Amino acid sequence: MRFTNIASITKFEVGLLVLLATVTLVYAEQRPQQSKRAEPAPRSEPSRAPVQSSPVGVDRVNHGTLRHVDTQVVQRPVAVQHPVAVQRPVEVQHSAEVQHRFPNYGTVIRHVDPHVDIGRRQLWHGFVFGERLHGLRPGYIQLFLNGVPYCYDAGIYYQQVGNDYQEIYPPVGAYVQELPPGAIEIDAGNLIYYYACGAFYVQQDGGFVIVPTPIGVTVPELPPGAVQVSINGGLAYQFNGIYYQPVFMNGVTQYTTFIP
């Protein structure tokens, strides 16, 4: 190519420079993606970060085995009986002021590995039927059930006796917007229960209501304060009129509700 004057050379060079700059920029844009694909992902961070994007369908009861790495427990449908019909909460009122202060725990235990030993103690693990307190923690909830006033704090229900608050069994029909912290999900086949402090909650109307204890379900721990009894010569535990029979399930002791 022949250039006739300096102006045309300059414009050609400018065009060439623009071209080169564009190519460089486009490559620069592409390279990080290419190199990202080529490099293996760092093992520690991505693999240990919570997997949010992909569905997690594996629900192993036992870990630490390659032989049975694919063996999963399938929940058997439980023929649950209810000793009495499930009541809907007749009248439930929330103190808007205190309810607002109630913390949103949202700490439902959805999977319990029977071999893992980890402290999961919550306030309601210290429940003692009939125990009186001089005061409750800030943030408790006031509710009414069939016109009867109750106080509720993190899984424990109270009734006021004089100036004290007495711990009572979780009343059937009580409705709370958030589950007690550390409630354990119990899959009974067609119905999911949430178990805490000997109470069985089911989801209802955007919150959770206590239903009568289903008979025939198995829970991983006894209600706090359950009393050991002998039923027909066998060992059992009793809590709020319901009996719990110990049984080895998945290699550890669990408890199945029954009525003698």
Partner 1 sequence: MKQTLIISFVLLQFIVAGCKTAPEKPESKAMTLSPPAADVAKPAIEPQADELMRRMSDYLAQAQFFSVSAEVWQDVQLPSGQQVQAGRTVDVQVRRPNRFHAEVRSTRHNHGLYYDGTSITLLNRVKNFYGSIPAPSTLDEALDMASERFGITLPLEDLIVSDPYQNAIHKTISGRDFGPVTILGVPCEHLAFSLGTVDWQIWIEDGARPVPRKIVITYKDEEGSPEYTAILSNWDFQTELPDSVFNFEPPTGAAKIDVAEIKSKNQAHKKEGK
Q: Does 192 bind partner 1 (CB under 8 A)?
A: no
Nearer Cβ to partner 1, position 88 or 115?
115
CB of 204 to partner 1, least distance (A): 21
Q: Does 238 bind partner 1 (CB under 8 A)?
A: no
Q: Which stretch binds partner 1 (CB under 8 A): 100-108, 146-154, 186-194, 198-206?
A: 100-108
Q: Does 118 bind partner 1 (CB under 8 A)?
A: yes
d(CA 251, CA 9): 85
Q: Does 229 bind partner 1 (CB under 8 A)?
A: no
Considering only 8, 146, 177, 203, the residue that binds partner 1 (CB under 8 A) is 8
d(CA 189, CA 78): 6
Nearer Cβ to partner 1, position 96 or 118?
118
Q: In degrees rounded to 5, what are phi and psi of residue 127?
A: -60, 135
Nearer Cβ to partner 1, position 136 or 249?
249
Please say whether the beta carbons of 152 and 143 come within 8 A: yes
Q: 81: closest CA among 182, 200, 238?
A: 200
Element (H, E) at 254: strand 252-258
Q: In degrees rounded to 5, what are phi and psi of residue 176?
A: -130, 150
**19-47: string of b/e by CB count within 10 Å (b at 16+)?**
eeeeeeeeeeeeeeeeeeeeeeeeeeeee
Nearer Cβ to partner 1, position 14 or 128?
14
Considering only 61, 133, 202, 215, the residue that binds partner 1 (CB under 8 A) is 61
Nearer Cβ to partner 1, position 1 or 84?
1
Cβ partners under 8 Å of residue 258, min gap 6: 215, 216, 236, 243, 244, 245
Q: Which stretch binds partner 1 (CB under 8 A): 19-27, 96-104, 142-150, 156-164?
A: 19-27
Q: Does 23 bind partner 1 (CB under 8 A)?
A: yes
Nearer Cβ to partner 1, position 146 or 253?
253
Element (H, E) at 142: strand 141-145
- Give the CA count within 13 Å in the CB-facing half-sphere of 233: 0
Please say whether the beta carbons of 102 and 151 come within 8 A: no
Element (H, E) at 166: strand 164-168
CB of 235 to partner 1, least distance (A): 5
Considering only 133, 215, 245, 258, the residue that binds partner 1 (CB under 8 A) is 245
Nearer Cβ to partner 1, position 149 or 189?
189
Contact residues: partner 1, CB under 8 A: 1, 7-8, 11-12, 15-16, 18-19, 22-23, 26-27, 30, 33-34, 37, 47-51, 56-58, 60-76, 106-110, 113, 115-119, 182, 218, 235, 245-254, 256
